[in-house]
């Protein structure tokens, strides 16, 4: 990885660590103050909002980063399209509020969706100039902007939860936090957009693939929401939503910021295929080394995590968390693919990859959810992921020029080490006592599980790296950094 890429990844990972720290504190507080059904009601409303957003999600930030020759006119057009999209989404969400409440048999959705409609209009007005931070590799400014947005949402939602003790804390926190974030985007970035659609046709020509990809992403992440909300109600949906968020945490909080930094780096190397291939393999090696054990660790420590982080009233989340964690491993492995294919100007390839996954997932949801409920929906996600992996590997090898042996070379040691960690933890790690009913009862076993898992993964990974002849990769880079710090 180049030095600028490493710096960018470090900034983004630092942001995610701080964000997750705030998110963890927020989750701990909200889970104690609110009930699973509160999270379920909000998930129902936001699923409708997300459904509408896919039809107006132009992906303008990605288009501006991918275009190395983007002019102020392109930025003005991007902002104008986002404003129009926000207004359209707000209007349609308000119109669908009553039908959605009938679909879910939940009358409380009506006022919730009206507030979210206004929030969508506000969000569409965000200053498009903040994209320049990423485009110019100014990740320090990007870090400041993102962490301030998170702090605003945290500072509003948590006090509201103490005051209201209902789902309205989540709804109003979302709205007020978004209003503050939009205001701050104009304070931190001097660029002032103006309404213009002159470059709309050329920008939409590229973004049409991103819109299709957003539709597939919605179906991948939200299709289970409609099945569970309709068949099992808000309490089951709230449990599934929180479990999926925790299970995907390594991907969303650790790996996603790395990929966010990699996209502009890949875009600059798109004209140099050998350099792009080397950068992709190096990045893939680092992502696997960090992400795979993190996801496997969530599955291993699921019983302790649920009791410590959420409390006994969330006990139904434990089996879901164990299953969904394995779904997260495949997402970590494939997360780097999107950035490199977008940088190459091949969004259609990733769209086909996403279409295969969504087809398998919908088939699994239809077959498993009616009989197995929430757990069946979780297994549908896992099976769809496993079924689409071979095809995804084929596309990456074909378009990036990476041979299968090189790709597996970046993955096999973390996969084997994580397997050893998981098996060892299950066999010899601490167990949750049958009488454990509080966070204190599970805290020490959780710390012991984390310590054993980290030691086992590190030892097995180091032995495998030595046995493989000390190949160049993430392990070698980390050891060099460690030696430099020790000196």
Q: Which of 356, 351, 145 is nearest to 260 (CA)?
A: 145
Q: Which of 94, 478, 66 is nearest to 288 (CA)?
A: 478
Q: Which of 458, 321, 324, 307 is nearest to 382 (CA)?
A: 324
Buried b (16+ CB within 10 A) or exposed e, 463-481: ebbeeeeeeebbbebeeee
Using alpha carbons only, how large is the chain's radius of gyration in Å?
22
Q: What is the pLDDT of residues 394-450, one digit of tens each?
A: 877 787 788 877 878 888 898 899 999 999 999 988 887 777 767 777 888 888 999
pLDDT of residue 478: 77
Cα separation, 293 vs 12, in Å, equals 20
Q: Residue 372 is encoded by which pair of tokens?
A: 């197995």
Query: 279 with 1: CB under 8 angstroms?
Result: yes
pLDDT of residue 341: 76
Q: Helix (H) and strand (E) counts for the chain? A: 19, 0
Cα separation, 274 vs 365, in Å, equals 41
Its pTM surpasses 0.85: no
Distances (CA, A) of 365 to 219, 373, 382: 11, 9, 11
Phi, psi (rounded to 5 degrees) for 347:
-65, -25
pLDDT of residue 8: 47
Distances (CA, A) of 137 to 19, 76, 284: 20, 21, 20
Cα separation, 346 vs 357, in Å, equals 18
Cα separation, 291 vs 444, in Å, equals 24
Question: What is the pLDDT tens value at each position of the chain, 487 positions in all?
Answer: 545 445 544 555 555 556 555 655 666 676 667 777 787 887 777 777 766 665 545 566 666 766 667 778 888 888 888 888 888 888 888 888 888 888 888 888 888 889 888 988 888 888 887 887 776 667 667 777 777 777 787 788 888 888 888 888 888 888 888 888 888 889 888 888 888 887 777 666 655 656 666 666 666 666 777 778 777 777 787 788 788 877 777 666 666 666 666 777 777 777 788 888 888 888 888 888 888 888 888 888 888 888 887 777 777 888 888 888 877 777 776 767 777 777 777 767 777 777 888 888 888 888 888 888 888 888 988 888 888 888 877 877 787 788 877 878 888 898 899 999 999 999 988 887 777 767 777 888 888 999 999 999 999 999 998 888 888 777 777 777 777 777 6
Interior CA angle at 399 toward 396 and 404, to 5°?
Answer: 45
Cα separation, 93 vs 107, in Å, equals 15
Buried b (16+ CB within 10 A) or exposed e, 404-429: eebbebbbebbbebbebbbebbeeeb
Cα separation, 402 vs 285, in Å, equals 13
């Amino acid at each position: 990885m180049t030095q600028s890429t490493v710096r960018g990844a470090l900034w983004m990972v630092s942001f995610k660590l701080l964000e997750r720290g705030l998110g963890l504190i927020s989750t701990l507080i909200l889970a104690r103050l609110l009930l699973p059904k509160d999270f379920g009601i909000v998930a129902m409303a936001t699923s409708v909002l997300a459904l509408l957003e896919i039809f107006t999600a132009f992906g303008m930030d990605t288009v501006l980063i991918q275009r190395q020759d983007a002019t102020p006119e392109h930025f003005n057009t991007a902002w104008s399209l986002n404003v129009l999209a926000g207004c359209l989404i707000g209007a349609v969400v308000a119109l669908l509020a009553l039908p959605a409440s009938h679909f879910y048999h939940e009358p409380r959705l009506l006022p919730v969706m009206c507030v979210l409609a206004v929030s969508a209009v506000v969000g569409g007005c965000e200053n498009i100039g903040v994209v320049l931070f990423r485009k110019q590799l100014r990740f320090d400014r990007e870090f400041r902007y993102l962490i301030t947005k998170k702090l605003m949402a945290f500072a509003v939602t948590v006090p509201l939860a103490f005051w209201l003790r209902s789902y309205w804390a989540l709804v109003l926190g979302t709205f007020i936090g978004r209003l503050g974030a939009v205001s701050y985007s104009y304070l931190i970035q001097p660029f002032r957009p103006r309404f213009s659609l002159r470059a709309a046709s050329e920008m939409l020509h590229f973004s049409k693939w991103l819109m299709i990809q957003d539709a597939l992403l919605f179906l991948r992440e939200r299709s289970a929401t409609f099945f569970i909300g309709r068949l099992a109600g808000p309490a089951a949906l709230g449990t599934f939503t929180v479990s999926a968020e925790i299970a995907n945490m390594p991907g969303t909080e650790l790996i996603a910021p790395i990929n966010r930094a990699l996209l502009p780096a890949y875009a600059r190397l798109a004209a140099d295929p050998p350099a792009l291939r080397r950068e992709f393999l190096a990045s893939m090696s680092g992502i696997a080394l960090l992400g795979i054990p993190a996801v496997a660790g969530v599955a291993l420590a699921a019983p302790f995590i649920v009791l410590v982080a959420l409390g006994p009233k969330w006990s139904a989340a434990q089996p879901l968390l164990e299953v969904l964690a394995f779904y997260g491993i495949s997402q970590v492995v494939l997360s780097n693919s999107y950035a490199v294919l977008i940088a190459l100007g091949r969004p259609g390839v990733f769209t086909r990859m996403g279409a295969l996954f969504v087809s398998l997932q919908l088939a699994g949801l239809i077959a498993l959810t009616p009989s197995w409920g929430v757990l069946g929906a979780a297994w549908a996600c896992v099976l769809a992921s496993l079924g689409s992996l071979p095809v995804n590997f084929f596309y990456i090898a074909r378009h990036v020029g990476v041979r299968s042996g090189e790709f597996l070379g970046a993955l096999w040691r973390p996969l084997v080490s994580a397997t050893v960690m998981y098996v060892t933890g299950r066999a010899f790690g601490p167990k949750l006592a049958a009488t454990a009913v509080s966070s204190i009862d599970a805290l020490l076993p959780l710390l012991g599980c984390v310590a054993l898992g980290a030691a086992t993964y590190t030892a097995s990974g180091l032995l495998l790296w030595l046995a493989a002849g000390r190949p160049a990769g993430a392990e070698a880079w980390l050891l060099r950094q460690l030696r430099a710090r020790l000196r």
